[in-house]
Structure 1
Amino acid sequence: MRDTIDIGIDLGTTNSAIALAEGDTVTVIKNNESQETTPSAVWMPRAGEVRVGAKARTRVESDPENTASEFKLEMGLADVTRKFARAAVQLTPPQLSAEVLKTLRNDATRFLNDVPTAAVITVPAAFALNQNKATVEAATLAGFVPGSPLLQEPTAAAFAYGLQDTSDRAYWMVFDFGGGTFDAAVVNKRDGELRVLHHAGDPYLGGKLIDWALVERVLAPAAAAEFGLSDLRRDNPQHARNLARLKAAAEEAKIALSGIQSTSVLVELDTPGGDSETFDFTLTRDALDRVAEPYYVRAINLCREAMRENGLSPDAIDKLLLVGGVTLSLGLRERLADPADGIGIELETRLDPSTVVARGAALFASTIRHPAPLAAAPAAGEFAVELSYEPAVTTTTTTTVAGRLRAGRDLDWTGYSVVLANPEGRPPFRTANIALNRVGAFATEVDVDERRTSRFTIELIDPAGAPQKLVPNTLSITHRAETFGGARLAHSLGIQLADRTFSPLLRKGAGVPTTAHGKFRTSYTLLRRDDEAMIRIPVVQGERARANRNRPVGLLTIKPVDLRMDLPVGTEVEVTFEVDASNLVTVVADVPLIGAQFEAEIDLGSVRTPSADVLTQQLAEAEDRYDVLQRSADLPDVDERLRRLEAEGTLPTVREQVRASAMDAGAAATAEDRLRDFQAELDDIDDLAALPRRTRELLDLLAEVAELVQQAGAVRDEQELTALREAAQQAIDDRDLKAIDAATERTEIFMARLYRRQPGWYEAVYWEVVRSPGMLPPTAEADRLVAEGRDALNRRDQRSLEHVVQQMLRLLPRDEREIMIGLTE
């Protein structure tokens, strides 16, 4: 068995690849067709027969009822299955991905003459928790050991390029535009360490969108006009076969136009009369670039966002690393190189963008120890050793190896020794005899060859000097010029609170593995006798203050079945999120009231496909908001944000995806994600549009407060007013609506305090409450306070009146109370 995993897999939307790292060499393993990439497509021509790869890919357009492709976009959706009519089975996206992984694993088995049991599998950095979990599930179904490590695709690409780059220090940006997803990542190389500094991405921006845009905006209208095909749309099941053929032809044409200026699109289409006609259409590179332009713009804007959030300009980035099949487009490359319309960073094109992720994953895999099999008792006459060491080193050529010997019986190891040797080393290396302690443990320093894999043997010698059989008796340590500085969270992670705001426990960019704690309170009483009692908290990822503008990734459920007592409303619950290096999360909940700690559960299977009806309604709402903002926009910032949405083709893309959502779960997921982002952008534009009005309101409020302070304020009031003015001016200068609202709220509280000092204020509040129908609740306590207040007024007892009014205000709903006095203190 290998000491390190060594196998890396790029599980792609359109194509997948597998690579092997051995020493300082990385080999992309070819499939049965001698190709380095395998189409991520599954065909089941009959029950019990599964075909994966090129043969399945060719059947997508001719036999769509028995073929599945591009299912990566559906990973993490709990209710999605693909039907195979002839086989009479339904497979989930993880099961389909497992079939692709099995095929790649078989290719590696043939290449190695050994079955690999572990692999590092890449995922987009923009993937959410539920999507990562689905990928791990697919790996397990494919026969890899449970818990196969995941690696973010931009990081894998940076590893592969790092092997080619000899500089000590550099900044790179990974531009990963694949078949279904887009990732941008700023990577820093410093003294041999590669560290991802910042991510930006879109899990539903990929070549598939460009293919479908070509179909729906260019090819389908032309074919419909030529052959009289009515309603030639993705949501029309009668045209499923024609649409599948046009989609395949669009993808082939897009690839061909990477090297030529025009190409012929030839497709056999079924016509209304039941015949077949050849659709012959000339597609030019200019036409492709016009259709793809909005998607290029969105990818470029995400890159700019990643640089801006990291405080870097394009001049600070040394290379733009191109990853993914879409980056083969010459139109995109020309756009990227343009400093004005693109990014203006030198393009790095030395490695094949279709296999670079698999190469980098293999390099990373060579730094991870292979999962050890379950330890069995050594056979008679044999001894076993459990080793502890780093399988890859960078900053030193000396490292520590420790171990502990085991026997099939109790044994005092005094007098036993081990020797570690690397006879192929440069120079050859051999330790002296290393004495074991009584329990069989040892530790020693070994020398490794620079930029090579050093293979050591371990010899066990008994007290009489005789060699003994040891299993395992080898280990490998690789010295590399680069090391991985650790994964980072691509999204903030937290929960949705009862008021629907987002409470992040972990912020975007946090290094993983990591742990975070949060304290929350129950919103209702939990009774032990209620078997159904549980706390349900939505888990979301994103950066927006409104939880519903972030991506739902699961449901945190806390089941108090083992509690010793009922939990009253408001009970504190401490929640701990633990994120591992693969961005997978476990949760522990602690209830201090009863000193109980128990496992909480994140149900990552709660994310489901939105219905076409819901998406259609959400689209209509978003379009209405967009139209209102367009008509009212007269501010430069608002106009700029609206132009960005238009340049990214947000609405046309959403409309196409919503229209296709009834037939395509991937389109539904894309539509939901894009609509969520679109609404969040409109929220921001609303805020920008409100800035002038809210700024005027704050300044007017400050002027009113200044008059009150001048009339009856003390020295401390003047000092507080000065502080309020400074905070307000800072918020206005920053054009920060949240800060302006916060400054307004603090000013209102201050003004309420000033007003309460004015003669007659409590009397005015009393009569306002009493004379407003329905403001006070119909209770005996309210009636008592009204009577006591009237009596205090008759007696001119100001102190008693103040006491009554304060109690009356506590009875009011919160919003009414805030109207009355700004905010209670």
Structure 2
Amino acid sequence: MRDTVDFGIDLGTTNSAIAVVEGGNVSVIKNNDGWDITPSAVWIPKEGRVHVGRQARDRVEHDPANATAEFKLEMGLADSRKTFANAGASLSPPQLSAEVLRSLRADAAHHTGTPPESAVITVPAAFALNQNKATIEAAELAGFTSACPLVQEPTAAAFAYGFQDATDRAYWMVFDFGGGTFDAALVSKRDGDLRVLNHAGDPFLGGKLIDWALIERLLVPAAAAELGLADMRRDNPQWRGNFAKLKRAAEDAKIHLSRRDQVEMMIDLNDANGNPLTLEHTLTRGELDAIAEPFYVRAINLCRDAIAEAALGPDDIDRLLLVGGVTLSPGLRERLADPRHGLGIELDVSLDPTTVVARGAAIFASTVRIPRSKTAPVPAGQFAVELSYEPSVTNLQPTVGGRVRGSSGAVSVSKSGSGSGSGSGMDFTGYTVTVNNPDGQPPFHSGAISLNAEGVFITDVALTPHTTSKFFVELTDPSGARCELTSNTLSITHGDVEFGGVRLAHSLGIQLAEQVFAPMLRKGATLPTSVREVFRTSAALHRSDADAAIRIPVIQGERSRADRNRGVGLLEIRPRDIRIDLPAGSEVEVTVEVDASSMVTVIADVPLVQAQFEAEINLDYIRAKDPEELRDILDEAEGRLAALRGFVADAGSADAERRLAKLDEERSVRTAREQVDASAVDNGAAATAEERLRDLQAELDDIADAVGLPGLVRDLRSALAEAEELVRQQGETADRQELAAIQSRADEAINAQDSVAVRGLIDRTGSLLFELERRSPDWSVKLFYTLQEMLRASGQAGPLIQEGHRAIAANDRQGLDAVNQRLYRLLPKDEQDKVVWLGRA
């Protein structure tokens, strides 16, 4: 039985692989085809028959109704499923991934004799919580009997390079450009300590995007011109077979162009009536590089950002470690080596980029102990030992501790020979253990180690350098008789590198009152970890107001504007949950916990009412946005971009001009448009489009902020001056406190040039002005005209509006209030909600 996990799996978009550490050495396990990699494809030709790997990958082209691939990009989307027509089956992305994992597990069983009970599985560093959760679900469905830890792909690659590199001090950057995702990791190696300093990445930037760009921008126009297929579009299901063939041809052409200057493509297609056609096209390396350039540029820009965030420059990085199939492209390698257009960092291709992640995952797995139950009953007449040790160390004399337990019916024997006690209350005085490694170089024997009364012992052991040493623990009773001891083995691997642990890939926190993201755990924190922070409510919550609520959105990301990050959960406190009213300024203690696989728990404590609330982090209902919604967002973004170009030209802001140039260089809008067009038939494209549009809107925010910050500051100061006057005239103590809090935050935001916070404070000041005006004698009239404007298009509102005008003419305040209440109820529910936000204490 293994003590450590030892198996590592790279669950990739295009290909997957499994590796294992045995005797301190790592090796990639070959599949039944004799390959190191297994295509991440599933073919189900009929009920009860499932094929995974090369054969399935071939069928994606020829039998798209019963085969599928690249489903990793849809992990975590509740509405994504693949229907297999012949089998009448419908599988989700986690179920499809489980088939790939099950195949790899079978390969491991063939290699070692038994299927592994656990494996470390890699995920992109840029994966969101729902995607990580879907990966864990896939491992459970695949039949692994113990929990499978997750580790980020670039971190695993760094482990693989660190394991075989003798350099004592260096900075590396992992450049992981795979089939569906891009990740970069900045790594420090110092005197045997390997530590990930920073991550950057894009969960939807991969070779798949380059394939589709080749198809949409080159092959489809060629088919229209040469074969007359003018109406062939990806979003039309009629052409699904043709696009499957074009996709395979694009992939194969990229592979050939890694070794040639050009490739002759001959693609068998069909016209609308099913008649065969052949598209012939000569694709050159230059054409491929021109189409791939925006994607290369985006990856390079992400690397530059990661280096800059770590307060380093490209000259400080010793080597660029290439990972992923896309890095085989000569054009990309030439660009990366160029200090002006790339990174100018020495390239390292000493390990196979297609298997290095699996190798690194296995190395990490050899440092992770398989969890064993500490409460399982011990069989009658036997003993068990719970061991405490580090499975991977850099010193040659590590410490091992343990505690021996007896069965419920076991009787201990004291030195005097009298029996005593049983079960957990046994007295182990007089018992001894030995810890032995007969195969060590030299063999190791600890000698007799006395247990204390509770069965605890501790000792140092000697390791054989640069290998895995396996030890056996033997128990002897006071009479010298050997006792049967279960779970009595341990393995410790000695190496020159100690790993600094898995890091949090995205900052986690909550959304504040000003729509500002308040990070509580920063990206890069070592996992597992937790943090507790105190916040205060910015307004009162009354038990009598059934529609009110304290809602605390839980956010994942790096943008200061909350809605430009991913929402992953919601803490909600309603009047029914509390025993007394919560005044403004009440403390709310928020605790965020993240486990070693990046899964999150968020809890809020409200000391005033002695109540605790756990966030609903429901990751099972996240869906791809509707194509029409995506198109609306795209249209809005394109409109904003066009307007901003004019503003930037007039403002002469160098920062804004630089940001615009970056958008153009990465072809962000064109890529987003292509993915939106494909979203109707491809959930992966919908997810890609949503991510692209979120990034695009955030970039447009930054451009607008660079141009408009002075104006925002003027608006905030004007609103504060108006609020000061109203507070002076009619303000209460709570109003003065709120105004003082806004003024304090305003000074901080203006000094920090934080336009997101400034904009949020303008909204918050507006809410204060609204509350002050509500108390004025003419408030009912103002409210009536506001509601009239909001309901202008509502046919139901006409009679009420006429009644309101009559009440104003008659100076009937009570009647007008009644009209306003009825008009208010005609508003959509989301416009009625009164939300009490939180402000940082």
The answer for the alignment partner of 2:661 in structure 1 is: 643
Alignment partner of 1:690 is 2:708: yes
How big is the shift at 1:286? Answer: 0.6
The answer for the alignment partner of 1:551 in structure 2 is: 566
The answer for the alignment partner of 1:748 in structure 2 is: none
Equivalent runs, 1:91-130 vs 2, <5 Å: 91-130=91-130
- The gaps in structure 2 that reach 5 residues or longer are 410-421, 720-742, 764-771, 786-841
Q: Is the 8 A contact 1:522 1:572 kept in 2?
A: no
The answer for the alignment partner of 1:516 in structure 2 is: 531
* Larger displacement relative to structure 2 (616-625 or 228-237): 228-237
Question: What SS does the corresponding residue of 2:252 show, helix, strand or coil?
Answer: helix
Q: 2:579 aligns with which of 565, 572, 575?
A: 565
How big is the shift at 1:208? Answer: 0.4
Query: For each residue in 1:494-525, what CA deviation from the matched residue of structure 2 results, as whole angstroms up to 9, or x when unmatched?
Result: 23346533232222222222112243549786
How big is the shift at 1:382? Answer: 2.6
The answer for the alignment partner of 1:325 in structure 2 is: 325
Q: Is the 8 A contact 1:397 1:479 kept in 2?
A: no
Write the distance in 1 (CA, Å) between the matches of 2:111 and 2:264. Answer: 38
Alignment partner of 1:453 is 2:471: no
How big is the shift at 1:391? Answer: 1.0
Equivalent runs, 1:38-77 vs 2, <5 Å: 38-77=38-77
Write the distance in 2 (CA, Å) between the matches of 1:730 and 1:80. Answer: 42
The answer for the alignment partner of 1:251 in structure 2 is: 251
Alignment partner of 1:602 is 2:617: yes
Write the distance in 2 (CA, Å) between the matches of 1:558 and 1:81. Answer: 35
Q: 2:684 aligns with which of 626, 647, 666?
A: 666
Equivalent runs, 1:291-440 vs 2, <5 Å: 291-372=291-372, 376-409=376-409, 410=422, 411-440=426-455
Write the distance in 2 (CA, Å) between the matches of 1:729 and 1:394. Answer: 47
Equivalent runs, 1:148-227 vs 2, <5 Å: 148-227=148-227
How big is the shift at 1:548? Answer: 1.4
* Larger displacement relative to structure 2 (47-56 or 110-119): 47-56
Write the distance in 1 (CA, Å) between the matches of 2:574 and 2:179. Answer: 41
* Larger displacement relative to structure 2 (263-272 or 236-245): 263-272
Alignment partner of 1:629 is 2:639: no
* Larger displacement relative to structure 2 (110-119 or 501-510): 501-510
Q: Is the 8 A contact 2:146 2:371 kept in 1?
A: no
Change (3 A) 1:501 1:92: same
Write the distance in 1 (CA, Å) between the matches of 2:117 and 2:526. Answer: 28
Write the distance in 2 (CA, Å) between the matches of 1:309 and 1:773. Answer: 52
Alignment partner of 1:143 is 2:143: yes
Change (3 A) 1:120 1:730: closer
Alignment partner of 1:281 is 2:281: yes
Write the distance in 2 (CA, Å) between the matches of 1:695 and 1:555. Answer: 31
Write the distance in 2 (CA, Å) between the matches of 1:774 and 1:534. Answer: 27
Alignment root-mean-square deviation, CA: 3.4
Q: Is the 8 A contact 1:555 1:604 kept in 2?
A: no
Query: For each residue in 1:47-76, what CA deviation from the matched residue of structure 2 results, as whole angstroms up to 9, or x when unmatched?
Result: 122111111111112111112211111111
Query: For each residue in 1:236-281, what CA deviation from the matched residue of structure 2 results, as whole angstroms up to 9, or x when unmatched?
Result: 1111110111011101111111111111222110113421122221
Code of the residue aligned with 2:688 in structure 1: it is T
- The gaps in structure 1 that reach 5 residues or longer are 702-723, 746-764, 779-825
Write the distance in 2 (CA, Å) between the matches of 1:558 and 1:528. Answer: 14
Question: What SS does the corresponding residue of 1:447 show, helix, strand or coil?
Answer: coil
Change (3 A) 1:21 1:652: same
Instruction: Name the count of aligned residue pairs.
Output: 735
How big is the shift at 1:775? Answer: 6.8
The answer for the alignment partner of 2:740 in structure 1 is: none
* Larger displacement relative to structure 2 (57-66 or 539-548): 539-548
The answer for the alignment partner of 1:611 in structure 2 is: 626
Code of the residue aligned with 2:455 in structure 1: it is G
How big is the shift at 1:323? Answer: 0.6
Code of the residue aligned with 1:686 in structure 2: it is A
TM-score by length of 1: 0.83
How big is the shift at 1:737? Answer: 5.2
How big is the shift at 1:108? Answer: 0.3
Q: Is the 8 A contact 2:265 2:280 kept in 1?
A: yes
Question: What SS does the corresponding residue of 1:601 show, helix, strand or coil?
Answer: coil
Code of the residue aligned with 1:517 in structure 2: it is R
Q: Is the 8 A contact 2:394 2:498 kept in 1?
A: yes
Q: 1:590 aligns with which of 605, 610, 633?
A: 605
Write the distance in 2 (CA, Å) between the matches of 1:468 and 1:358. Answer: 41
Alignment partner of 1:577 is 2:595: no
How big is the shift at 1:164? Answer: 1.7
How big is the shift at 1:537? Answer: 4.0
Change (3 A) 1:419 1:625: same
How big is the shift at 1:204? Answer: 0.5
Write the distance in 2 (CA, Å) between the matches of 1:134 and 1:569. Answer: 41
User: Once the two structures are aligned, what percentage of the paired residues are identical?
Assistant: 58
How big is the shift at 1:641? Answer: 1.3
Change (3 A) 1:374 1:55: farther
The answer for the alignment partner of 2:695 in structure 1 is: 677
How big is the shift at 1:183? Answer: 0.7
Question: What SS does the corresponding residue of 1:148 show, helix, strand or coil?
Answer: coil
The answer for the alignment partner of 1:799 in structure 2 is: none
Code of the residue aligned with 1:68 in structure 2: it is T
How big is the shift at 1:628? Answer: 1.2
Write the distance in 1 (CA, Å) between the matches of 2:545 and 2:294. Answer: 57
Query: For each residue in 1:404-460, what CA deviation from the matched residue of structure 2 results, as whole angstroms up to 9, or x when unmatched?
Result: 232342143222111001122222211121112222221212122222211111111
Question: What SS does the corresponding residue of 2:609 show, helix, strand or coil?
Answer: coil
The answer for the alignment partner of 2:789 in structure 1 is: none
Change (3 A) 1:170 1:774: same
Change (3 A) 1:559 1:265: farther
Write the distance in 1 (CA, Å) between the matches of 2:588 and 2:716. Answer: 38
Q: Is the 8 A contact 1:525 1:566 kept in 2?
A: no
Write the distance in 2 (CA, Å) between the matches of 1:559 and 1:87. Answer: 48
Write the distance in 2 (CA, Å) between the matches of 1:592 and 1:146. Answer: 38
Equivalent runs, 1:708-727 vs 2, <5 Å: none
Write the distance in 2 (CA, Å) between the matches of 1:376 and 1:640. Answer: 62
Q: Is the 8 A contact 1:397 1:447 kept in 2?
A: yes
Write the distance in 2 (CA, Å) between the matches of 1:372 and 1:529. Answer: 51
Alignment partner of 1:7 is 2:3: no
Write the distance in 2 (CA, Å) between the matches of 1:475 and 1:696. Answer: 68
Code of the residue aligned with 1:671 in structure 2: it is A
Write the distance in 1 (CA, Å) between the matches of 2:97 and 2:538. Answer: 40
Alignment partner of 1:656 is 2:670: no
Write the distance in 2 (CA, Å) between the matches of 1:730 and 1:525. Answer: 27
Query: For each residue in 1:531-576, what CA deviation from the matched residue of structure 2 results, as whole angstroms up to 9, or x when unmatched?
Result: x998654332112222211123344456998x68366575654221
Write the distance in 2 (CA, Å) between the matches of 1:699 and 1:374. Answer: 62
How big is the shift at 1:695? Answer: 8.6
TM-score by length of 2: 0.81
Code of the residue aligned with 2:65 in structure 1: it is E
How big is the shift at 1:481? Answer: 1.1
Query: For each residue in 1:283-302, what CA deviation from the matched residue of structure 2 results, as whole angstroms up to 9, or x when unmatched?
Result: 11111000000000000000
Code of the residue aligned with 2:519 in structure 1: it is P
